[in-house]
Amino acid sequence: MATKKPEIITDKNQMRNWSRAMRSLGKTIGLVPTMGYLHEGHLSLVKQSHRYANLTVVSIYVNPGQFSPSEDLSSYPSDFDGDIRKLMSLSKGVDVVFHPANLYDYKTYKNSNDINDCKRSESGNTGSGVVSCLEEKGIGHETWVRVERLEKGLCGKSRPVFFRGVATIVSKLFNVVEPDFAFFGKKDYQQFRVIQQMVRDLDFGIEVIGSEIVRDEDGLALSSRNVHLSPEEREKALSISKSLFRAKCSAEKGQINCKELRGLVIQAINDTGGRIDYAEIVDQESLEAVEEIKSPVVFCVAAWFGNVRLIDNMEISIHN
């Protein structure tokens, strides 16, 4: 049975006023930040929020600050009406969907479509190696949040603006929504750890809670980008999760040499035509690469199938 339609708020001040009014009544608020095109992974975060908080806010906002000029912001899938229907299908639903047209203030901002017209090119790089769609448009956003060590490895190597953009937009969402709890999926493991570190370092009074990866029945990690995979590419992409599960099993049976485990996964992905971005075994806290598994680690993978970049990971703990 569908729940009632959530209140849809598009204005930052209105969102902040709603949260403060609810908190004045003694209510706790859970925030699920998303970029929309919701799937069961997102819905699992909403369900988790129901267990922790009195009220739940889902934000839907495709953040231009985490896309570089060479990445196709406009191709990110969107289905706002479908997202609302999915949220209403939950037994408790959500209280508010925060869906702003933009979360940045621009002196030269002309219309709501400007940010979606971000030019795709390698030009405009000022030499910093970190240029986003916002900067390429020259629209004046100057303040960024950096989590300097944790953002450098893994996805940060090939996407140098990504975590700066994520940390900045999540900070803005925290300042606008003022939640007590925030929920993030562990599929984006580095993102989860970056946000945890940011919250600790900047003294946000928010508990960041991670949720386990939600997979399709065949093992593929759910992602909004999966829609861009052809049936053949999707079948080949199963090599990521299958090889990660094999690596975990091998480690639990005594294979703790990370070079051997990485080779197993890299070979499996290469054999199905995937292109490896990275395959790294890192400490779960520091995200620093390890040579042998002696403490809890996470095996993180990013690979391309066709034009779609997929990420996945597997937490591994060895019990001596």
What are the residue numbers of the active site? 42
Q: Could you tell me the end-to-end alpha-carbon distance of the chain, in angstroms, rounded to an integer? A: 48
The conformational region for residue 53 under phi > 0 = left, psi -120 to 50 = alpha, else beta, is: beta
For 130, residues 6+ apart whose C-beta sits below 8 A from its C-beta are 160, 161, 164
For 29, residues 6+ apart whose C-beta sits below 8 A from its C-beta are 19, 22, 23, 53, 54, 55, 56, 57, 177, 178, 179, 180, 181
The Cα–Cα gap between 216 and 240 comes to 13
Can you spell out the DSSP letters for 77-126?
Answer: ---HHHHHHHHHTSSS--SEEE--S-SS--TT---TTGGGG---SSTT--
The Cα–Cα gap between 66 and 86 comes to 26
Task: Report, in this order, helix, strand and coil percent for the chain, each rounded to 5.
Answer: 40, 20, 40
Q: In terms of DSSP H, where are the helices of the chain? A: 12-24, 40-52, 80-88, 133-137, 155-158, 162-177, 189-201, 231-252, 258-271
Whether residue 228 contacts residue 241, with contact meaning beta carbons closer than 8 Å, is answered with no
Find, among 233, 259, 132, 151, the residue nearest to 195 by Cα: 151
Secondary structure letter of residue 37 according to DSSP? S
| Lookup: tokens for 113 | 């479509």
User: How many whole angstroms from its chain centre is CA 145?
Assistant: 16
